[in-house]
Every structure is written in C-alpha cells, then in structure tokens.
C-alpha cells in the first residue's frame, strides 16, 4: 500500500481549516463572494488560481461551540479533491486525526475492478508520527479488504492465509487446528458450528503468537464466521445479504494485532481466530443438540443462528488457559447490539472498571467510538437450560447483547481482565474517513490502549 504522506513540498496546495461562521483566508474571499459560498460546517470550497490551477481548498469545520466535533471531517475531502499534493493550514490540534481521516477516506475496495482512489498526497503535518499513521492505515485497510471480500473468495482457508501473512510480516509463529483434529484436540463447539461446510472449507482454530515469552500476555480473540446462513435456523434473505461480514470480529483483531506488532509494543501477543462457515447440510448441528465445550460445561443449542458465541466460547477457553493479563474478544455477535446502539457505536463489556474507562478514553481520543454496557448478573438466569449446564441463548426477546456477553464470560476465569466488543464491522452509508463497507471498529482504540499500558 503506497503512503499518501510525503515530505514538505513548495508546490503543495493548501487546505484551509476554517471554523463555521469564521473568516476565510484572503485568497478565498473574493471567490466565496462571487459564488455565494456560506461557511457552514462540512462545506468545502475549491478556489481557482489565476493560471487555471487550484489556489487552495477551504474546509469548514464545526464551530468552537459545537457539542460534538468530528476530527475526521477532513476525510470528506477524499471525494472532493482532484489528484495532487496538499498541505494542511491551521488544522490545529486535530491535525493527526484529520490526516488519518483523509487517508482512510481514500480507501477503495478494488478487487473486482472498481477504480482506485484518486492520486492524492498530503504533506505530513508537523509533529505527527507518520510511521504510526501509516501502520494504522495499513491495518485498517487490510481489515476492510477482508470484510468486503465475499465468502466465495474468503473462506476459512483464506482467512487463515491472511493471518499467516500477518505473522510472516512481523516474525510471529502461526499454527492451526483443522477439521476433525478440532475434536481430537478438544474444540467441540468450533467443530460443531463448522462441520456442515464443504471439506475444502473445514473449520479451524488459527493461533498467532508474537513477542518475548516473559513479556505481559495480551490475547486477542476474533469471531471468524466467513458466512452465516443461520444454519438450520436459516436466515431470511434480507438478513443474509451482509453475512460475508460475519468474520468482522476477526478482521478487527487482525488490525489491532498488526498495529501492536508494527509498533513493537513489548507484549507476548496472541491472536486466536475461530474460522468457520455456518453452512447447511445433513451434518449441520441442530436446535436442541447438547454439545460439550472445551472448558467443560455442556451447552444446549437454542438457535443455530447464534453460532458466533459458540466459536468464541472454545477460543476464549483456550486463551484463558495461560492466564494472560488481558483477553479482548471482538465479534459481530448480536442484532440486539445494533437495536440498542446503532451501527456506529459498538458495545463494550467488561467487569474491570479501570480497563473499561481507559479503553473508552482511547476510543474518544482516536475517534473510534465504543459505549460501555452492563454485564447485568441477574440476566444470567435467562441462559438456564433444563437439560444441560447452560443454553447458549436466552429464552426471550430481551437483552440479547447482554446475555450473549454473559454467556461468553463463563469461559474466562483465569485472565486478569476480559472484555468483549460486539461490533457491526460495517459502515452502512459513507461518512468522513469511513467509506461505505467494512470497518475495523474498535481496533484503533484497543491498539492505543495496549501501547499506553505496556510500552516501556
């Protein structure tokens, strides 16, 4: 991926940041009057030069009194600017996120012939860590590519290959457990979910390990359901249209791992992904089945369309066995999370108040929003089973995201801190810095927290 960031260039066209209702630079005022331009937030004005070129571009930002400011607003310029080299003027304290927003806004998914973004370059703003920005852009764009790729080209094999490529780039060790070996090595829930898929799309656990053995152990766990038909509880067609993104949790954690390893944070990083296809065949698991878990509890299947938490249960149990300091999982887990908080604000669950507060602080600082939701213990009763230790779904329509998180919590006991992100991993309509399509929600915030906690 070529960087959009370049050294200082005298020929770079200025991008002027002007607060709503503020005064435009002198070079833009005459053109603004002639065109009736109004300085309302989000508006842009391309100012012609006397030689027919471009003298500059004005971006109107939110006013100083705005309740919520969008530091990614410069990402809007990705669809406005012609090809060329630009520089920020008066970007202020948002220069880093503005540059990141512009870079992320230039993303295009081109695998199937759609045109690439325009050739836009940006002079790196003063004081900004360009290497860190480039790592972030690469990680997020990799996650977006994975999420946007349809299931016919991204099965469990290809998802494993992406993790192996990540490991090779950073010098990590990657192993996998595939197909019936999952039963031999005690991953019965992962096997149950994925066993109905074609033989060349066999389920698997992919396990990446990086960093010194004596460093603090940080483990990231991702749901990698490459396509979810709903199983025998088959989804209606409208609900199946975006199920290529049901591996979005794994893409989020691949992006976070990429950023952590790229920054050489001194941790013993582990990335565990359960990569499966929830398909339908004569071998599919059924509602009412009772399946053992890696940790031991017998799990009654309430609905085969709630397969992600089953995959995560075995993966979390594996992660927990070495008692790491931190386990964080990410999954496109519940529609209930979208009903509660919408597509842009993933719920965060954790019993560790200090960790949750730190992650939310980084989420705000990185413009990578999260919202803490409660692990409400009384709702654990909703997972009761009459025939097994636990049912993997609740018996009613309420608190679906909370009960899913409570189910996952049962499979973590030795880690110092555990957190769960219920992400959508998708931007339904384009926003500044976030084109429509796959999105690595929470990855930047999580990587920033790990860097702060463990950088020496």
Catalytic positions are 235, 309
Separation CA 42–CA 418 (nearest Å): 39
What CA–CA distances, in Å, run from 343 to 137, 340, 375, 407, 425? Answer: 21, 9, 21, 22, 8
SS3 400: helix
Neighbouring C-alpha atoms within 13 Å toward the C-beta of 193? 38
Sheet containing strand 326-331, edge to edge, reads 173-178, 204-210, 268-278, 217-228, 326-331, 417-422, 347-350, 371-372
Residue 419: both structure tokens together: 């957190």
Query: What would the 3-class secondary structure string for the chain be?
Result: CCCCEECCCCCCEEEEEEECCCCCCHHHHHHHHHHCCCCCCCCEEEEECCCCCEEEEEEEECCCCCCCCCCCHHHHHHHCCCCEEEEEECCHHHHHHHHHHHHHHCCCCCCCCCCCCCCEEEECCCCCCHHHHHHHHHHHHHHHHHHHCCCCCCCHHHHHHHHHHHHHHHCCEEEEEECCHHHHCCCHHHHHHHCCCCHHHCCEEEEEEECCCCCCEEEEEEEEEEEECCCCCCCCHHHHCCHHHHHHHHHHHHHHHHHHHHCCCCCEEEEEEEEEEECCCCCCCCCCCEEECCCCCEEECCCCCCCHHHHHHHHHHHHHCCCCCEEEEEECCCHHHHHHHCCCCCEEEECCHHHHHHHHHHHHHCCCCCEECCCCHHHHHHHCCCCCCEECCCCCCCCHHHHHHHHHHCCCCCCCEEEEEECCCEECCCECCECCEECCCCHHHHHHHHHHHHCC
Around Cβ 90, how many Cβ atoms within 10 Å? Answer: 14
Give just the sign of the alpha carbon dihedral 252, 242, 114, 346.
Answer: negative
- Specify the residue for token string 């939701």: 373
């Amino acid at each position: 991926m070529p960087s959009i960031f370049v050294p200082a260039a005298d020929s770079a066209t200025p991008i002027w940041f002007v607060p709503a209702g503020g005064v435009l630079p002198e070079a833009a005022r005459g053109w603004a009057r002639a065109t009736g331009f109004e300085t309302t937030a989000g508006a842009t004005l391309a100012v012609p030069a006397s030689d027919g070129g471009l003298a500059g571009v004005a971006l109107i930002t939110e006013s100083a009194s705005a309740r919520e400011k969008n530091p990614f607003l410069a990402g809007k310029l990705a669809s406005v600017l012609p090809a060329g080299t630009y520089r920020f003027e008066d970007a202020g304290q948002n220069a880093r996120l503005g540059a990141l927003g512009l870079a992320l806004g230039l993303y295009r998914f081109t695998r199937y012939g759609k045109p690439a973004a325009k050739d836009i370059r940006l002079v790196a703003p003063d004081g900004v860590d360009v290497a860190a920005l480039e790592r972030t852009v690469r990680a997020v764009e990799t996650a977006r590519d994975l999420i946007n790729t349809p299931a016919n080209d991204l099965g469990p094999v290809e998802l494993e290959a992406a993790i192996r490529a990540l490991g090779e780039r950073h010098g990590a060790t990657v192993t996998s457990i595939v197909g019936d070996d999952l039963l031999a090595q005690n991953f019965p829930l992962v096997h149950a979910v994925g066993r109905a898929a074609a033989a060349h799309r066999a389920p698997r656990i992919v396990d990446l390990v990086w960093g010194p053995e004596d460093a603090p152990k940080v483990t990231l766990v991702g749901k990698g359901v490459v396509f979810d038909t709903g199983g025998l509880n088959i989804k209606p067609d409208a609900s199946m249209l975006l199920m290529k993104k049901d591996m979005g949790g794994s893409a989020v954690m691949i992006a976070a791992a990429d950023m952590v390893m790229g920054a050489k944070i001194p941790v013993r990083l582990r990335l565990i992904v359960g990569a499966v296809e929830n398909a339908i065949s004569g071998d599919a698991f059924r509602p009412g089945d009772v399946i053992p878990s890696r940790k031991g509890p017998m799990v009654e299947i309430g609905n085969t369309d709630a397969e992600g938490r089953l995959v995560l249960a075995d993966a979390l149990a594996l992660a927990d066995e070495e008692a790491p300091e931190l386990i964080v999982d990410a999954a496109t887990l519940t529609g209930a999370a979208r009903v509660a908080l919408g597509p842009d604000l993933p719920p965060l669950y954790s019993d560790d108040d200090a960790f949750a507060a730190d992650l939310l602080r980084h989420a705000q600082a990185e413009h990578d929003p999260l919202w803490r939701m409660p692990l409400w213990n009384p709702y654990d009763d909703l997972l009761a089973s009459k025939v097994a230790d636990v049912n993997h779904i609740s018996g009613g329509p309420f608190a679906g995201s909370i009960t899913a998180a409570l189910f996952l919590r049962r499979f973590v006991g030795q880690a110092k801190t555990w957190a769960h992100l219920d992400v959508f991993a998708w931007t339904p309509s384009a926003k500044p810095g976030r084109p429509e399509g796959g999105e690595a929600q929470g990855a930047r915030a999580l990587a920033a927290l790990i860097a702060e906690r463990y950088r020496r």
